A and B are shown apart, each in its own frame.
Chain A
Amino acid sequence: MDKWSFGFTMTLVGIGGTFITLGLLILLINIFKRLFPVRSDRGSLK
């Protein structure tokens, strides 16, 4: 693989992979916030 194919592959997959993974985490955080709202905590932990 020549260096430019390597560079552009790393750039595209790298930026894309990072954005997609963090986007997935945003989705999951929102789901967890709905599943476990603040009031459900009382008396459950700590």
Chain B
Amino acid sequence: MWTWFHRLASPPSFYRFADRLAPWLLGLGLLLLAVGCYGGLFIAPADYQQGDAFRVIYVHVPAAALSLFVYVLMAVAGAIALVWRMKLAECAVVAAAPIGASFTALALVTGMLWGKPTWGAYWVWDARLTSELVLLFLYLGVIGLNQAYSDARTAARACAWLALVGVVNVPIVHYSVQWWNSLHQGSTILSLEAVRDPKISSSMLWPLLLTLSGSFAFFFAVWLRRLQNEVVARERGANWVRDCVLQAPLAAVSNEQSGMTGPELDPSMQSRQGRQRHGEPRGAD
């Protein structure tokens, strides 16, 4: 088992492993999300108090759960990166931040869209909402730090520190509804109490469980893809990149270049790649 993990930490092994796993996770995630959303929109009955407004739960809760989970994941990867100086863990922090930020923003905006019909206001400076907003700023901080350094490893270590320090906000977000008076409702499913005594009818619960599991599968799929990109960008000079990465897709990219049918390079990407060709060590966005 440990040998397998140890082998997985090497970039070529990880690249091949991610290549095999990501499509399955993506397919599973999209399928679960499609069925869950259909169930949430058309099959689950309307709530007796909130009416159809409660259907936002099927987008809001998975996004909020992911926003917390991804930050904890970044903190764990950050600790591994700082203690064992593992390159893959450094990449994991950097690759997870934009995904986490997007789901945190989604949780905030869908929360606002749910808040307006139920509370009568899009935003209140409530403990849950404010701590979730702080979480978004922490994610943006990690993304900004990663962009601020020209050396990828220094940037990743700075990001790891911020992920570790910022993880203190995660229990604050989660327990804010218990610690302070809050307009926001307590945990519906993500607590031991809720597991023992469900607060939601099973006819409303199953689509939520599907969208939750689908979102997590989707996250892991896109995280693996981003991780692959980070690893390749850092290891661009290595032999395994030429052997594993450039073998199959090279023909497709060459054809595309001659016809110029694919998407143009992002200007920031072009400038970074220009810098890299001129000997600067920065390898990843």
Chain A bound to chain B: no
B residues apposed to A, CB below 8 Å: none
